[in-house]
Chain A
Amino acid sequence: MSETRKPSFSRRDFLRGAGALGASGALLGATMGQARGHEGRHGGHGDQHGMGGGRMSGGHSMGAGSGNTTEGNVDTSRFDPMKFLRDFDYGETRREGGRTLREWEITAEDVEIEVAPGLIYPAWAYNGQVPGPTLRATEGDRLRIAFKNNSSHPHTIHFHGFHPANMDGVFEVVGPGQEFVYEFDAEPAGMHLYHCHSSPLRKHIEKGLYGAFVIDPKEGRPAADEMVLVMNGFDTNFDAANEVYAINTAAFHYQKNPIEIKKGELIRAYVVNVLEFDFINSIHLHANFFDYYPTGTRNPRNGKIEPSEFTDTKMFAQGERGIMEFRYDFPGMFMFHAHVSEFAELGWMSFFDVKSST
């Protein structure tokens, strides 16, 4: 990375202070003032790029303000965040020993992913995608995950949930070319995650080895339009800070391609924060409130699945996740984004396009 360089004239730097003392800039002040007026007449160049949100209710690629968005579009043939959004992988399912067995084959691979249009990041990925596939099962199912490491580095899969020590994906490091089969019961019901637990841990997570892991309660949840929101970010210049933030990897993707939902329909969003470097992340829903189920688990006091909070903004620590349920009663375009404004402006900015069911 190149240093910041700019023309500077140290001898004249003195001026900046001196001029600020208020010496009357009669000569230049007048001249420059005229220039300002002149330019001001055809100002507003930015408006060509900025989108007047209110005026363009149906428009594509709406910006949060003047030009605060990415340039170009990501190649969705490599990874389509819109497809990933509602893509739940239930695995190869069969009955075994009187109960449901779900089997998955997961590989770890070194792949290049597009984290913003034209911005290629050398990722480590489960099944070649970041986030990895959303694995979904029902409470009590037997899960068998055959893991093959096709990457050049040792990896594991560490699932959040209940399982024996040797299934924890910590001590049984799977070297390049090696395989390991994880087998355990799906417990407890809730919204979980899985990620690599090889050392150095932060590197293995920030490189993209993570995914959502949903365990439905036996009794199920009410019918809804379900989606997965993985809050992530990428350190593209390896300075231990994220350059871009996103929901499901591609910065600003759901801003440029709003998520269509139906007016009045129950929406259930499985949300997880897998951000590295930053301690917290958050999600804020516009013009609405949501029922929030922390970790999507049961209330320990009464064993019922009930929300802990009714709010429009929720903060997430690293690895924290939960389920949001809401309905939109008005059609139109609604923002949802990190209320950490910096993350929002660096890509964690999305839209719901609420359609009237006609």
Chain B
Amino acid sequence: MRREGRGPAWVLMGLLPLLGLGVVLALIVLNGAGVSRSDVPPAEELTVQGVTMPTENEFVVEVRNGGPAPVTLSQVIVNDGIQNFEAEPSKTIPRLGTAKITIPYSWVQAEAYEIALVSNTGVTFDAEVEAAALTPGFSGETLFGYALIGFYVGIVPVALGLLWYPFLRRLGTAGMNAMLALTIGLLLFLVVDTLGEAVEVAGDLPEVLSGIALVILVTLMTVLALLSTDRLFRRLRGGAQSGGRLETSYRISFGIGLHNLGEGLAIGAAFALGESALGAFLVIGFTLHNITEGVGIAAPILKEKRPRLAHFVWLALLAGSPAILGTLLGGFAYSPLAATVFLAVGAGAILQVIYEVGKIVLKDSGPDEAPSLPAALSSPNLLGLTAGIAIMYATGLLV
């Protein structure tokens, strides 16, 4: 077949469909598509992103317009009373735009409020306050408070879990394999949990942002991207098959870190929105829940020569410190969109780690390091896997 040239004509050929598209769009814009219904008003859709109470005398409602047309607010009703309000930047919220609505109102501590935003066509959009409480403001103390929560639920449990390393090293081969299987169990729980949470947060997004699709696709792309970095690392190492199990530990650490970021976001946002009662109970729950994460990180390197102590510090920080970032972001700059993406990335990262650890289990359980599925499904391994899931489920009850 003759290979045709790539001259100006070729460029034109590439542009031809676009030109056609332009003409069609212009015709539709000018003449309509012949299917328009001018008698039906465009559906108005405002999504309430959150209600905060920066002072005892105001509600601040954040909304996003997920509908096809701009929405103009006319009035605001709080608990069946019309209240004056201010809208920033404007009472008219463009498509996909957001607005901050400040309503002066002397709310009562711990009581429930229903806020209705009334558009200029009379449509109402409801925002709920389950129990009114002051939203922590941005200050040195609150910053430290949130960071401390992140520290307690992230770094502390991971570091404590890693302390099991010397103990686990003396378990013997079958025991160590069972610990790897246990790690897979922990991670399976985490990935399902993270995905569940991502889907839940995605439900808060306006439909137009396709929250669920976003979760699935971001998760998938994260897995693919991390798998490709594996090849990238291999090239950097000069073709060596594996960067060693320490690298797997780092990957687990990274994946768990992303999960903890999501967890931190949820905790921070829950505190900021006043949805959770404040208490040490929460911190204890998460600490217990996350302590197993340290075990998971340590599992791949049980058979290796003990890495330098610094590695353990880095592993703990990599897995734990994102929780601090998460609580801060969730507390001060919560965005359902960002949270959805973070959680989906976390889920993808954990999925990739499951794949990595799965490979190790297959290899280590088989005779002469030959991957073997029947051998990998040995009783101790299955027990470990089940135990991993059960531990996470049980400690999950605490949070």
- Residue numbers of A with Cβ under 8 A of B are 1-16, 18-21, 23-29, 31-32, 34-36, 38-40, 42-50, 63, 65-72, 115-121, 234, 236-237, 239, 243-244, 251-252, 342, 345-347
Contacts and interface: CB of A to CB of B under 8 A. Distances in A.
A28 B149 CA distance: 8
B266 A12 contact: yes
Contact of A11 (B50, B56, B193, B279): B193
Give the interface size bracket for B toward A.
Answer: 35 or more
B120 interface: yes
B336 interface: yes
Given A32-B136, A236-B122, A345-B80, A43 B57 contact: yes
A121 B119 CA distance: 11
A82 to B, nearest CB: 20
Contacts of B148: 27, 31
B104 A4 contact: no
A48 B103 CA distance: 12
Interface of B: 45-51, 54-58, 72-77, 80-85, 91, 103-106, 116, 118, 120-128, 134, 136-137, 139, 141-142, 144-145, 148-149, 152, 193, 197, 200-201, 203-204, 266-267, 269-271, 273, 275-283, 285, 334, 336, 339, 396-397, 399
- Interface of chain B, helix or strand or loop or mixed? mixed
A6 B57 contact: no
A5 B66 CA distance: 13
Nearest to B271: A28
A15 B274 CA distance: 12
A72 B142 CA distance: 37
Contact of B46 (A2, A32, A49): A2
A72 to B, nearest CB: 8
A35 B82 contact: no
A31 B281 CA distance: 16
Given A7-B273, A39-B54, A243-B77, A28 B278 contact: yes
Given A5-B203, A40-B56, A237-B124, A11 B281 contact: no
A45 B104 contact: yes
Contacts of A42: 55
A67 B104 contact: yes
B92 to A, nearest CB: 10
A2 B83 CA distance: 21
A251 B82 contact: yes
A66 B273 contact: no
24 contacts: A1-B126, A2-B46, A3-B126, A5-B204, A6-B127, A7-B273, A12-B267, A12-B270, A28-B280, A32-B145, A34-B142, A35-B141, A39-B56, A43-B57, A66-B106, A69-B82, A115-B122, A118-B73, A118-B91, A120-B121, A243-B77, A243-B118, A251-B75, A345-B81
Given A2-B46, A70-B84, 7 more contacts: A34-B141, A35-B134, A35-B137, A38-B141, A40-B55, A43-B56, A71-B85
